[in-house]
Amino acid sequence: AELAKIVNRSAKILRIECAPEGAMEIASRSRGTPRIANRLLRRVRDYAEVQGDGAITHAIARFALDCLEIDPLGLDLMDRKYLSVMIEKFGGGPVGIETMSAALSEERGTLEDVHEPYLLQEGFIQRTPRGRVATPRAFTHLGLKVLREGGPQGDLF
């Protein structure tokens, strides 16, 4: 709700007509971050001007954010790719950051500073002494069957 107020305020400053439901949709996919909310507002505005009459409705916001591949929980394409690589190539982990970096062709710093904080905060991954591990929430979000708690090899004892 607080983030929706920020989106509405920014819309007024940018002279964008934005319905409250449209602002809520943008806010809900903004990872709780005003900077991201403002960036998404500008992207949705561009879409609304090209595909609609310039006004941001709930339907326009939802469709534009879907086109940008930002899901309802705020995960973007790279976040989902991170999770799917961890699960499909490495059995959900544990997997080291260097291995993930190589598998994704992405710099370690980008993964650690941009993608992992939100994935950790939202409970999609955990950091363990042995490496990163996908949580059951990551499996269900991607529509995959959750592996046993012990991982692909099961528990040791």
Domains and CATH numbers, the chain: 2-67 (1.10.8.60), 77-141 (1.10.10.10)
* Best CA proximity match to 138, nearest among 121, 128, 125: 125
pLDDT at 91: 87
Coil/strand/helix, residue 27: helix
**Which residues of the chain carry a pLDDT beneath 50?**
150-157
pTM higher than 0.95, yes or no? no
pLDDT at 53: 82
pLDDT at 154: 47
CA 37 and chain centroid, separation:
13
Distance CA(118)–CA(92), nearest Å, equals: 18
Q: How far is CA 7 from CA 24, 57, 58, in A?
A: 8, 13, 13
* Best CA proximity match to 43, nearest among 20, 14, 21, 72: 14
pLDDT at 39: 92
pLDDT at 155: 45
pLDDT in tens, 10-28: 988 888 888 889 899 999 9
